[in-house]
Amino acid sequence: MPEPLKIVLFLCNWGPHAAYQALQDRSADIPSEIKMIRIPCSGRISKALLFKPFEMGADGVLLLGCRSGTCRYGTGTSAAEENTADTRRIMALIGLGGERLELATFLPDEPEALLTFLQSFADRIRQMGQSPITRRTRPIAEDTAAGDLPTTPEAIVAAHDVFACQDCGKCTSACSLALAGKSYSPRFMAAEIIAGRADAAAVRNAVNSCLTCGICYERCPSAVNFPEFIKSMRIYYHDREVAAAPAHGGFFQSMMRAMTSPTLAPQRWRQLPDTIRTRSRGPVLFFGGCAPYFDIFFNKFLGVRTHHILEDSLRLLNFFDVEPALLENERCCGHDLLWSGDRDNFLRLARLNAEAIAASGAEELITACPECCHTLEVEYARHGVTLPLKITHMHAFLEREIDKGAVAFKPLEGCATFQDACRQSRFSGQAALPRKLLAPLYGNTPGGLVDAEAPSICCGNSAWIGCDADSKAMQVQRLEKARRSGSTTMITACPKCQIHLRCAMEDVVRAKQLKMELVDLTSLIAKTIHWE
């Protein structure tokens, strides 16, 4: 027998609740699938909260608020409208169907209209049937051979040889967070965990706040791999269910966990422009990444267009006569889940991806995202998931093709600086690669590229966790530094750097001093390259 359908109803305390109560008072025929949750205001139900029920196995979600203009708090209804619209678009893209989520507004004296609405929504969900997201509670550890990973703080400390720490403090003096003014010390954290205080709230918060940018590892004379240590500690906290709440209400983690469902068919390539040539099978596979989801989520504030990076990458591949194949139901690579400690779901994603990639029959996978590239190339293998092809970053592909010659670049005006992607420059040791690509773009104008010799500091966040006032301070510092150097453009290499730095530019007080053009390196090359 199929499981009964579940519809979660978020019901605003004010207008619609009165109508709902009237229905309850007269035992009206409210569909039995509907589980009601009373909330103070529909505007407070964020995108993360709207999506969370689906991750947990709901088949439909309703958000009922007050009729526009009657909101007790003024802006609740409009906030709910925006949140619902964005979440529906993401749900459509992820293959869940936007129709499973609905926002409606009612006045207290409209119980009849409310009842009709509830019944018609329940009918719609019955027609659509069970949600393709299946909730699994069984931990993956039971069916995996990777049980030899350290699970206690002592074992984690030993595995990463944190004992080698000499307490010299070079990590703290280089730490992006400490430099931004946060009272933060990697070596102190290491000492506390060694001393057996891993479960103290302060230590847990510190592990959560780490940006995992890798600068401390670069500086450490004992080569303690601090980011890897943090990653293991986060897995430890996550397994004990004491991990800190992620940023953005955990929306992205929720979404990525939802993607571990094999029956879900994400459709992120749906809106590709016609001018881009792709094929269903071929030796080259392009792996996009999560940019299309980010763009919808952040469109209200930041106006980010990170999916243009993917389109420009595809156009560049076309430019060099490569027609890449795409994974029809491409899923997230799992980077953010792994780095927020959810190793089980990372592994589920990794296995689904590995299966799809192997079935594609491609020989080379190209991706423009440094996180996808590092995760597919290094982390998958580390966690026992092997991919049968070569992983190439878009920059490496471009270097290879540009090196062959016969191309030139339109000269660029103004002066620019470069923001390194931590997963590319430090984790994969490829800091020279983007700089090599940048050289011909700005090489002929003296002073075209400034303050870009050494890898820059972190963009302020990683894996959608631990965003706070200090990471914002850091982003502000980064942009101020760029402005002081006279740059009008900042060139980035990761969609997340774009999002985080754009967010800092939204600062209401400092906006004028921070605004500068942000452009991705791949897009910049796409804009200027031409055949000689």
Partner 1 sequence: MVKQLMITGFGGQGVVLAGRIVGQAAAIGDALESTFVQSYGPESRGGACSAQVTIADGPIYFPYIKHPDILVCMSQSGYDKYRALLKPDGTLILEQDLVKPVGGQDHFAIPCTRFAEELGNKMMANIIMIGFLAAITEAVSLDAVRATVLSSVPKGTEEKNLKAFERGWDYALATLKGRRNKAAGRIGVVA
Nearest CA-CA partner of 459 in 177, 206, 243 = 177
Contacts (Cβ under 8 Å, ≥6 apart) of 89: 98, 296
Q: How far is the CB of 403 from partner 1 (least distance, A)?
A: 8
Q: Which is nearer to partner 1, 413 or 506 (CB)?
A: 413
Q: Does 315 bind partner 1 (CB under 8 A)?
A: yes
Least Å distance, CB 309 to partner 1, is 13
Q: In terms of Cα–Cα distance, which of 338, 356, 339 is closest to 288?
A: 356
Number of residues that bind partner 1 (CB under 8 A): 22
Stretch that binds partner 1, among 244-252, 313-321, 350-358, 503-511 (CB under 8 A): 313-321
Whichever of 259 and 441 has its CB closer to partner 1, that residue is 441
Q: Given the complex with partner 1, which of 300 and 410 has the nearer CB atom?
A: 410
Neighbour count for residue 249 (Cβ, 10 Å): 18
Among 404, 447, 509, 512, binds partner 1 (CB under 8 A): 404
Tell me the closest approach of the beta carbon of residue 281 to partner 1, in angstroms. Answer: 22
CA pair distance 60, 324, nearest whole angstrom: 36
In 288-387, beta strands by DSSP E: 325-326, 364-367
**Nearest CA-CA partner of 336 in 252, 215, 421, 236:** 252
Shortest distance in whole angstroms from residue 317 CB to partner 1: 10
Compute the least distance from the CB of residue 69 to partner 1, in Å: 45
Q: Which stretch binds partner 1 (CB under 8 A): 144-152, 502-510, 511-519, 523-531?
A: 523-531
* Residue the block writes with tokens 């293959």: 95
> What character string, x for contact with partner 1 (CB under 8 A) and - otherwise, covers 209-228?
--------------------
> What residues from 384 to 403 belong to the interface with partner 1 (CB under 8 A)?
401, 403
Q: Are 276 and 240 in contact (CB under 8 A)?
A: no
What are the CA-CA distances from residue 506 to residues 80, 208, 289, 502 (Å)? 22, 25, 25, 7
Shorter beta-carbon distance to partner 1: residue 133 or 309: 309
- Residue 520 binds partner 1, judged by CB under 8 A: no
Minimum distance from CB of 404 to partner 1 (Å)?
A: 4
Binding flag, residue 26, partner 1 (CB under 8 A): no
Among 140, 319, 481, 510, binds partner 1 (CB under 8 A): 319
Least Å distance, CB 294 to partner 1, is 23
Residue 134 DSSP code: P
Whether the CB-CB separation of 213 and 176 falls below 8 Å is answered with: yes
Site string for partner 1, 270-309 (x = CB under 8 A): ----------------------------------------
Is residue 529 close enough to count as binding partner 1 by CB under 8 A? yes
Q: What letters, b where the CB count within 10 A reaches 16 and e where it falls short, cover 166-198?
A: eeeebbbebbbbbbbebebbbbbbbebbbeeeb
Q: Using CB under 8 A, which of 12, 79, 233, 316 touches partner 1?
A: 316
For partner 1, which is the closer residue by CB, 26 or 404?
404
Exactly one of 57, 320, 328, 364 binds partner 1 (CB under 8 A); which one?
320
- On the 0-12 / 13-18 / 19+ scale of CB atoms within 10 A, 82 is middle
CA 198, CA 215: separation in Å to the nearest integer? 23
Please say whether the beta carbons of 186 and 168 come within 8 A: no
Q: Minimum Å distance from CB 275 to partner 1?
A: 9
Q: Which residue carries 């400390």 as its tokens? A: 157
Min CB(492)–partner 1 separation in Å:
18
Q: Which is nearer to partner 1, 281 or 400 (CB)?
A: 400
How would you classify the pairing of strands 101-106 and 325-326?
Answer: unpaired
Which residue, 1 or 406, has its beta carbon nearer to partner 1? 406
Looking at the Cβ atoms of 3 and 531, the one nearer to partner 1 is 531
What's the CA angle centered on 268, arms 389 and 355, to 5 degrees?
35
Closer Cβ to partner 1, 277 or 390, answer by number: 277
For the CB of residue 267, give the shortest distance to partner 1 in the complex, in Å.
25
Quote the tokens at residue 62: 């309703």
Question: Does 312 contact partner 1 by CB under 8 A?
Answer: yes
Within 8 A by CB and 6+ apart from 209, the residues are 177, 182, 184, 466, 468, 470
Q: What would the DSSP string read from start to end of 378-420?
A: IIHHHTT---SSEEEEHHHHHHHHHHH--EEEPPPPS-EEEE-
Of the candidate residues 27, 137, 386, 531, the single one contacting partner 1 (CB under 8 A): 531
CA 264 to chain centre: 19
Shortest distance, CB of residue 430 to partner 1, whole angstroms? 20
532 is a contact residue toward partner 1 (CB under 8 A): yes
Tell me if residue 358 falls in helix, strand or coil. helix
For residues 453 and 381, the answer to whether their CB atoms sit within 8 Å is no
**Type of residue at 373:** C
| Shortest CB 526 distance to partner 1, Å | 4
Stretch that binds partner 1, among 223-231, 284-292, 311-319, 501-509 (CB under 8 A): 311-319
Nearest alpha-carbon partner for 497 in 422, 411, 407: 422
Report the Cα–Cα distance between both ends of the chain, in Å, rounded. 66
**Tokens representing residue 151 in the block:** 């699970």
Task: Select from 407, 421, 449, 499 the one that contacts partner 1 (CB under 8 A).
Answer: 407
Check binding of 454 to partner 1 (CB under 8 A): no
Interface ranges with partner 1 (CB under 8 A): 312, 315-316, 318-321, 401, 403-407, 410, 525-532
